Structure 1
C-alpha cells in the first residue's frame, strides 16, 4: 500500500521506518519545496501533488499547518485521514476551544481577541495573570505572551496587533487570552482510532518543558483516575471529529483534575517513548489506522523515558553503552534549539529507570539536557 504524508519532517521519517515492515510505502509532500520526496533518502520522485494523490491509496499528515489549497485537494480525493475538521482544529486554537466547549471537555477559561478592547475585557473577565496565544501558527511556545500586570497591556497589544494585521479576509488572524492555570504538571495522552470507531489508547505520559519546548517525557505507572479522565476526553474528542489516526491531547494536571491545554491531530513528540516502551508504537498505529489495518497493542511493556536532543549535532557515544538506551536521529542540519533527535531509555521497573537516567545525567550536560538528573533522583527516592 502506498501512503502520502503531508509534511517531510521527522514524523514522516519515523512513519516511513515503521511502515516498511508492514509493506506500507511512505512518500512525503514537502510543503515548502512542493516536491514529493522519500522521507528517509530525500529522493525526489519528480511528481506533482496531483500525480502523487492519484497514485497513493491513503493520504495523512505529520503537522497541522497545511495550506488550504493543499488540504482541499487532498480532501477531494476521499483518501485523506484524519480529515479536514481535525486538521483545522489542531491548527487554530479558536476552533479547538469551540470543540472543547461543545464536547464538555474541561479547559482554561478564555476570550477571543481581534481588537484592543477585547484584551481589556479579558483582563476584567478572566483576571490577571493571563496566557495569550496566537490562534494560528503557534508551536513550541512561539506566539505566546504572559500578561501579569496592567502596565504590560500596551506593549503586548502592540505585538499582538502586528500578528492580527498580518492576516487576511480569507485567512484572518486571531488571538486567544486564557486564564493562567496554576498546575502541578503537564501530562498527555495519545490514542489511535480507526474508521470503524475502534480505539486503542496509550498510558498517560508526564511531560517536562524548558522555555516552552518539550525536553523529557516519562511513561511510568500513573494514577488510574488520571488515566480515566484522559481516556474520557480522548473518546469525546475523537468521536466528535470522527477521527481516524493517532490523536494527541496535552493536559494540565490541577490537583488531580485534567484540563486540556492543546490538541494535536497527529503523532506527537510526547509519544516517541512508544517506540521502545510498547509493542506497537504511535507511528505504526497511526499507519495501521489510516490504512485500515487492525490497531496494535498500546499497553506499556516497561517504564520508559524519552529525552529530546535539542540543537546538538551528536550525543556522547558512551550513552549507547547503557543497556536499553537507543538514539533516534532526524537527519536535520544543526541549529540552536532545533529538535535534532531523541533518546529513549527503558527499564524493568521505575527504580531501575531512575538508575539508568542517573547514568545518563552523568554523561549528558544539564544545560543541554535539563531535568534528566532531577527525574532520576525523583524515581530513586519515590
Structure 2
C-alpha cells in the first residue's frame, strides 16, 4: 500500500520507518520545493503531485501549514486523512478556539484580534496579563508576545500590526489574546482514531519547554482523573471532526483541571517516547488508522522519557552505554536550536527511569539539555 505524506521532514521520516514492517510504502511531498521524494533517502521522484495522488492509497500530513490548493486537491480525492478541515484547524488558532467552544472543551479565556480596538478590549477582558499568539504561522514559541502591564503595549502592538498587515484577502491574518493562566505543569495526550470510530489513546505525558520549544517529555503513572479528562477532550474533538489518524492535545494542568493550550492534527514531538515505550508507536498507529488497519496497543512498556536534541550535530557516544537508551536522528543540517534528533529511554520503574536520566545528564550538558538532571533526581526521590 502506498501512502503519500504532505511534508518531507522528520515526522514523515519516522512514519516511513514505522510503515516498512507493515508493508506500507511512504512517499513525501515537499510543499516548499513542490517535489516528491523518499522521506529517508530524500531521492527525488519524477512525478507530479496529481500523479502521486492518483497512484496512492491514502494521503496524510506531517504538519499544518500547507497551501490551500494542495489541501483541496488532496481532499477531493477522497483519500486524505484526517482531512482538509482538521489540518486547517490545526494551523489556525481562531478555528481551533471555535472547535473547542463548540465541543465544550475547556481553554483559557481569549479575545480574537484583527485591529487595535480588539487589543484594548482584551486588556479589559479577559484582562492582564495576556499571552498574545498569532493565529497563523506560529510554532515552537514563535509568533508570541506577553503583555504584563500597560508599559509595553505600544511596542507589542507595532509588531502585531505588522503581522496583521502581512495578511491578504485570500489569507487574512489574525491574532489571539489569551488570559495568562498560572499552571502547575504542561501535559499532553496523543491518541489515534480509525475510519470506524475506534480509538486508542496513550497515557498522558508531562512536558517541559525551554524558550517555547519542547525539551523533555516524561511518560509515567498519572492520576486516573487527569487521564480521564484528557481522554474526554480527545474523544469530543475527534468525534466532532470525524477524525482519522493521530491527534495530539497539549494542556495546562491548573490545580488538577486540564485546559487546552493547543491541538496538533498529526503525530507529535511529545509522543516520540512511544517508539520504545509502547508496543505500537504513534507513527505506526497513525499509519494503521489512515490505511484502514486495526489500531495497536497504547499501554506503556514502562516509564519512559524523550529528550530533544536541539542544534547539536551529535551526542556523546557514552549516552548509548546507558541501558535501554535509543537515539533517533533526522538527517538535518546543523543549525542553532534546530530539532536534530531525540533520545528515548525506558525503564521498569520510575525510580530506575530517574537513575537513567541522572546517568544521561552526566554526558549531556545542562545548557544544551535543560532539565534532564533535575527531572532524574525528582524521579529517584519520589
Is this a same-fold pair by TM over 0.5? yes
1:28-107 matches, within 5 Å, as 28-107=28-107
- Deviation of 1:301 (Å): 1.1
- Deviation of 1:288 (Å): 0.1
Q: Deviations over 1:12-46 (max 9, x none)?
A: 00000000000000000001110000000011111
1:115-134 matches, within 5 Å, as 115-134=115-134
Specify the alignment match of 1:272 in structure 2. Answer: 272
Specify the alignment match of 2:223 in structure 1. Answer: 223
Mapped to 2, the partners of 1:377 and 1:63 lie a distance apart of: 35
Mapped to 2, the partners of 1:338 and 1:106 lie a distance apart of: 32
- Deviation of 1:127 (Å): 1.2
- Deviation of 1:151 (Å): 1.4
Specify the alignment match of 1:341 in structure 2. Answer: 341
Secondary structure class of the residue paired with 1:60 = strand
TM-score, with length taken from structure 1: 1.00
Specify the alignment match of 1:150 in structure 2. Answer: 150
Mapped to 2, the partners of 1:19 and 1:380 lie a distance apart of: 36
- Deviation of 1:89 (Å): 0.7
Specify the alignment match of 1:375 in structure 2. Answer: 375
Secondary structure class of the residue paired with 2:345 = strand
1:194 aligns with 2:187: no
Mapped to 1, the partners of 2:77 and 2:126 lie a distance apart of: 44
- Deviation of 1:126 (Å): 1.1
1:136 aligns with 2:136: yes
1:236 aligns with 2:229: no
Specify the alignment match of 1:8 in structure 2. Answer: 8
RMSD: 0.4
TM-score, with length taken from structure 2: 1.00
Q: Runs of 5+ in structure 2 lacking a partner?
A: none
Mapped to 1, the partners of 2:295 and 2:249 lie a distance apart of: 19
Q: Deviations over 1:159-182 (max 9, x none)?
A: 000000000001000001000000
Secondary structure class of the residue paired with 1:363 = coil
Mapped to 1, the partners of 2:163 and 2:343 lie a distance apart of: 36
Q: Deviations over 1:194-241 (max 9, x none)?
A: 010000000000000000000000000011100000000000000001
Mapped to 1, the partners of 2:226 and 2:43 lie a distance apart of: 44
Mapped to 2, the partners of 1:21 and 1:118 lie a distance apart of: 52
Q: Runs of 5+ in structure 1 lacking a partner?
A: none
Secondary structure class of the residue paired with 2:73 = helix
Mapped to 2, the partners of 1:377 and 1:358 lie a distance apart of: 7
Runs of 4+ in structure 1 deviating by more than 2 angstroms, as ranges, are none
How many residues get paired? 382
Specify the alignment match of 1:292 in structure 2. Answer: 292
